[in-house]
Amino acid sequence: MTSAAVGRLRVATFNLSFSRPAAGGLLAALQADELALHHCAAILQRVRPDIVLLNEFDLDGEGQDERALTLFLQRYLGVSQQGDAPLDYPYHLQIPTNTGLLCGADLDGDGVPTLPADGQGFGAFHGQYGMVVLSRFPLLPEAVRSFRQFLWARMPGAQLPDRQPGSGLGDYYSAAALAELRLSSKNHLDLPVLIPSVNGERLLHLLLSHPVPPVFDGAERRNRCRNHDEIRLWCDYLDGADYLRDDAGRQGGLEPAASFVVLGDLNADPQAGDGDRRAIRRLLAHPRVHPAVARGRWRPAAAGGVIHGARRARAVPAAQARYWTHLRGLRLDYVLPSQDLQVQGSGIFWPATAEPGREWLADRQDQDSAWLSSDHRLVWVDLQL
């Protein structure tokens, strides 16, 4: 355990795109020393977050098998990749997930419950697209609040999809399906972490999730509806909504005085993309969220996004592209601290042409490529505790 008081705390989120088509595929890829995996490790070593949420890190569904994670920690983060010092994370948590967990009802109506279409969360196997937290400081899993089992239909005013688009009946799913279908496509987790600060130990709540992308559906827009409500859950949690009941039966939301950071690939851009933007806009404007990080001077930005935007068929203004976190030209990945926390800095790891680390993201023609690392970019915020 680190006992020295922390001056600056760097918190990050990174969708690694480590997911593979079959169970065991990530472990095999790590054993095979695939280049993109090393590049992602190099990015982490360059940015050096104290706490980081990793999205799309395949696991066993319940987070018990740590072989792939141990290999990544030891052979990748524990060994210098591109001249930067190794990283050591003495605390970690593989988060149980709904992806690839077969639902007890037929969701797509074809009469045969099968994966991935009939999973509680889309996945070819239980644990695909999982989440992992790495931390230099003690995590408190015994104090976790998980909303993995919370049923979508139990959310008041839920945006349940319509069989006939626009009808407002919310009848796309059968009553039997709604009695089983969970809201969280992966998990919604409130994970406390204990930080030694100059004023004594400080408790920070990590609010972790990875909502379903608002695409890959039909005219009913079921994924668009679910993405909206998965993000809305955090808004209601910050509001202390009474309807919320976690997997242990505890009711209500986050305590009014609690410090927190919302972390993850939320698959929602407030200005563009295919999603219903109302929920992400509500979260970014929430009175408990730090406005300077959400929408102001500390909004994470990078020059690489500007380069990427300028090369589009229709060039995107730098003022918009500098906030992108994804190659599709969207702000999807967020680190949103509570307003009571003091922000010292922020950024997105997306170097511009000829800047250090550019070769981990772009090919020899200087074109950004998802195959060299990830289609997402690491986002970080520095906090003073």
pTM for the model stands at 0.96
Q: Encode the chain (385 residues) as per-residue pLDDT tens digits.
A: 344 677 899 999 999 999 999 999 999 999 999 999 999 999 999 999 999 999 999 999 999 999 999 999 999 999 999 999 999 999 999 999 999 999 999 998 888 889 999 999 999 999 999 999 999 999 999 999 999 999 999 999 999 999 999 999 999 999 999 999 999 999 999 999 999 987 789 999 999 999 999 999 999 999 999 999 999 999 999 999 999 999 999 999 999 999 999 999 999 999 999 999 999 999 999 999 999 999 999 999 999 999 999 999 889 999 999 999 999 999 999 999 999 999 999 999 999 999 999 999 999 999 999 999 999 999 999 999 8
Asked if residues 338 and 263 have their Cβ atoms less than 8 Å apart, the reply is no
Euclidean distance between CA atoms 316 and 73, whole angstroms: 38
Q: Quote the pLDDT of residue 197.
A: 82
How many domains is the chain built from?
1
Give a yes or no: residue 160 inside a domain. yes
The whole domain housing 66 covers 8-384
CA nearest 211: which of 165, 273, 162? 273
One-letter amino acid for residue 61 of the chain: G
Q: Quote the pLDDT of residue 199.
A: 78
Give a yes or no: residue 1 inside a domain. no
Q: Quote the pLDDT of residue 2.
A: 42
CB atoms within 10 A of CB 149: 15
- Cβ burial, residue 29 (10 Å; 0-12/13-18/19+): middle
CA nearest 212: which of 344, 99, 289, 322? 99
CA nearest 290: which of 348, 341, 253? 341
The 3-class secondary structure across the chain, one letter per residue, is: CCCCCECEEEEEEEECCCCCCCCCHHHHHHHCCCHHHHHHHHHHHHHCCCEEEEECCCCCCCCCCCHHHHHHHHHHHCCCCCCCCCCCCCEEEEECCCECCECCCCCCCCCCCCCCCCECECCCCCCCCCEEEEECCCECHHHCEECCCCEHHHCCCCCCCCCCCCCCCCCCCCHHHHCCCECCCCCCEEEEEEEEECCEEEEEEEEECCCCCCCCCCCCCHHHHHHHHHHHHHHHHHHCCCCCECCCCCECCCCCCCEEEEEEECCCCCCCCCCCCHHHHHHHCCCCECHHHHCCCCCCCCHHHHHHHHCCCCCCCHHHHCCCCECCCECCEEEEEECCCEEEEEEECCCCCCCCCHHHCECCCCCECHHHCCCECCEEEEEEC
Asked if residues 253 and 304 have their Cβ atoms less than 8 Å apart, the reply is no
Q: Quote the pLDDT of residue 198.
A: 79
Give a yes or no: residue 2 inside a domain. no
Give a yes or no: residue 3 inside a domain. no
**Tokens linked to 363:** 């090919």
HSE-up of 158 (CA within 13 Å, CB side)?
A: 26
70 Cβ contact list (under 8 Å, min separation 6): none
Euclidean distance between CA atoms 330 and 230, whole angstroms: 18
The enclosing domain of 109 has a CATH number of 3.60.10.10
CA nearest 273: which of 231, 336, 335? 231
Give a yes or no: residue 317 inside a domain. yes
Euclidean distance between CA atoms 87 and 71, whole angstroms: 13
Euclidean distance between CA atoms 177 and 373, whole angstroms: 38
Give a yes or no: residue 309 inside a domain. yes
Q: Quote the pLDDT of residue 211.
A: 98
One-letter amino acid for residue 113 of the chain: P
Give a yes or no: residue 186 inside a domain. yes
